């Protein structure tokens, strides 16, 4: 995705955005014929992108139906559609095929179910190295751990900052796990990007638009968590900020929202997962830990996440949850984590069969 895409989205909000998706491996001549046809209608071509498949963005004016019909009758055109939703680049209308994101040697959004696990906060070298070893043993592919912590109270542990990032890096070298860690402020983005394979944007920062814009060229995939009282559409609009500013590698995370219910820390909007899969091509991760806030409920919700088709899980696990400086109550202990990973296996097998069958029909 290049600068032309930004212009398409930002500089022409009053136009009618139309996306023309070419058939696979269309030739340069075929693409030129299509752009010539668009120009005959008096519309401007704003972007051409894609590796295997070329997608052409056009801003139309008034009734674009005739143009759409004409383009669709061209043999080299797969689809010509109006993007009816305000989140253009992240919509399924724009890209019917799921986005696959590479983090370290792991692919998220493909046909492997990916688990990320680890403590809420990086606390010490011993704690994170021990965590990493257990996380890897259970089969998770990414190690989580916050070095910058968004705490409700300013008197609570705020994270080890760069020292914590260095410990995560050490854990990566010891285990081969990829690292996901939160970045809270735009000024820290370059530093966190140096150490992390995936940058996590926490629920409280989902609409920190300056931060979102900075992520456009940070060079790392992003996991964007849903805000505490954000709608699905708002989540998608926030993802759109990151993509429109140049970074297409965004995954979304459902981590529970605030409702009138008080038995659980948040209310898991499990439906958001299939809804998001309908609306967007971005991978969707479930965080059962923050959603329920109680460790005994985490495995059941994790199972639901696999069954409903999430692309992966992010789970809190601590070698000694009773000593955790943050989120101990929702952190699995090593034994619970290892059992959960074992118990998920038959569900993940079904998940994979389903994913392969789905890929064959798209
Ligand atoms: C976390 O992952 O530890 C965290 C703070 O999550 P959230 O932003 O979803 O509250
Ligand atoms: Mn936490």
> What confidence tens digit (pLDDT) does each residue in 194-219 have?
999 999 999 999 999 999 999 999 99
Residue located via tokens 């590796």: 51
Q: Report pLDDT for 4.
A: 44
CA pair distance 302, 227, nearest whole angstrom:
20
Whether the CB-CB separation of 245 and 10 falls below 8 Å is answered with no
318 pocket-lining for ligand 1 (C-beta < 6 Å): no
Q: Give the mutation target among 198, 238, 287 for probing the ligand 1 site: most ligand atoms within 8 A of CB.
A: 287
Q: How far is the CA of 351 from the centre of ligand 1 (A)?
A: 26
pLDDT at res. 3: 41
| Residue 146 near ligand 1, beta carbon < 6 Å | yes
The number of C-alpha atoms within 13 Å of 88 and in the hemisphere containing its C-beta is 25
Q: Are 225 and 207 in contact (CB under 8 A)?
A: no
For residue 215, what is the DSSP state? G
Q: What pLDDT is attached to residue 47? A: 66
Closest residue by Cα to atom 4, ligand 1, is 202
Q: Confirm or reject: Cβ of 226 under 6 Å from ligand 1.
A: no
**What is the structure's pLDDT at 2?**
42
Find out whether 54 and 108 touch, Cβ atoms under 8 Å. Answer: no
Gap between the terminal Cα atoms of the chain: 23
Ligand nearest to the CA of 318: 2
Closest atom of ligand 1 to 255 CA is 9
Residues with CB under 5 A from ligand 2 (ion): 120, 327
Residue 201 Cβ < 6 Å to ligand 1: no
Q: Is 290 helix (H, G, I), strand (E, B) or coil?
A: helix
Residue 85, phi then psi, degrees to nearest 5: -100, 155
Question: In whole angstroms, what is the distance from residue 196 CA to residue 146 CA?
Answer: 11
| pLDDT value of position 6 | 47
pLDDT confidence of residue 33: 94
Q: Which residues does the chain have with pLDDT short of 50?
A: 1-6, 9-11
Query: How far, in Å, from the CA of 255 to the mean position of ligand 1?
Result: 8
CB 204 within 8 A of CB 227: yes
CA of 99 to the centre of ligand 1 (A): 24
C-alpha 251/C-alpha 241 separation (Å) is 13
- Six-digit token string for 228: 């505490």
**Residues belonging to the chain:** 362
Helices first, then strands: H and E counts in the chain:
12, 14
d(CA 265, CA 259): 10
- The best mutation among 121, 143, 150 to test binding of ligand 1, ranked by most ligand atoms within 8 Å of the C-beta, falls on 150
Residue of minimum CA distance from atom 1 in ligand 1: 120
Indicate if ligand 1 lies below 6 Å from the C-beta of 203. yes
CA neighbor of 69 nearest in space, from 58, 59, 80, 60: 80
CB of 172 closer than 6 A to ligand 1? no
CA 277–ligand 2 middle distance (angstroms): 25
Distance CA 178, CA 180 (A): 7
Q: Which two tokens stand for residue 35?
A: 């752009």
For ligand 1, atom 9: residue with the closest CA: 203
Element (H, E) at 303: helix 298-307
95 lines ligand 1 (CB under 6 A): no
């Amino acid at each position: 995705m290049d600068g032309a895409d930004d212009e398409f989205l930002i500089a022409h909000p009053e136009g009618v955005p139309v996306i023309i998706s070419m058939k696979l491996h269309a030739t340069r001549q075929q693409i030129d014929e299509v752009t010539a046809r668009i120009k005959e209608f008096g519309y401007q071509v704003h972007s051409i992108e894609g590796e295997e498949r070329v997608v052409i963005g056009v801003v139309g004016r008034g009734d674009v139906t005739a143009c759409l019909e004409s383009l669709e009758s061209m043999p080299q055109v797969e689809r010509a559609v109006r993007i009816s939703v305000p989140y253009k680049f992240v919509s399924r209308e724009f890209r019917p095929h799921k986005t696959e994101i590479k983090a370290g040697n792991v692919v998220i959004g493909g046909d492997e179910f990916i688990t990320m696990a680890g403590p809420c906060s990086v606390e010490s070298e011993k704690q994170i190295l021990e965590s990493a070893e257990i996380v890897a043993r259970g089969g998770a592919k990414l190690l989580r751990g916050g070095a910058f912590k968004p705490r409700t109270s300013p008197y609570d542990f705020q994270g080890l900052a760069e020292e914590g990032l260095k410990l995560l890096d050490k854990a990566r070298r010891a285990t081969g796990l990829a690292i996901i860690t939160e970045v809270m402020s735009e000024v820290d983005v370059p530093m966190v990007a140096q150490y992390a394979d995936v940058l996590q944007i926490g629920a409280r920062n989902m609409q920190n638009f300056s931060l979102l814009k900075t992520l456009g060229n940070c060079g790392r995939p992003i996991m964007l968590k849903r805000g505490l009282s954000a709608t699905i559409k708002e989540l998608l609009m926030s993802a759109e900020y990151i993509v429109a500013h140049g970074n297409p590698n965004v995954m979304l995370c459902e981590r529970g929202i605030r409702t009138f219910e008080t038995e659980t820390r948040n209310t898991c909007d499990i439906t958001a997962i299939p809804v998001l899969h309908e609306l967007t091509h971005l991978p969707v991760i479930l965080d059962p830990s923050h959603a329920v806030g109680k460790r005994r409920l985490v495995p059941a919700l994790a199972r639901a996440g696999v069954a409903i088709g999430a692309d992966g899980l992010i789970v809190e696990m601590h070698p000694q949850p009773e000593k955790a400086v943050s989120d101990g109550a929702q952190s699995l202990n090593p034994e619970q984590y290892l059992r959960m990973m074992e118990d998920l296996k038959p569900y993940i097998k079904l998940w994979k069969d389903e994913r392969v069958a789905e890929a064959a029909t798209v």
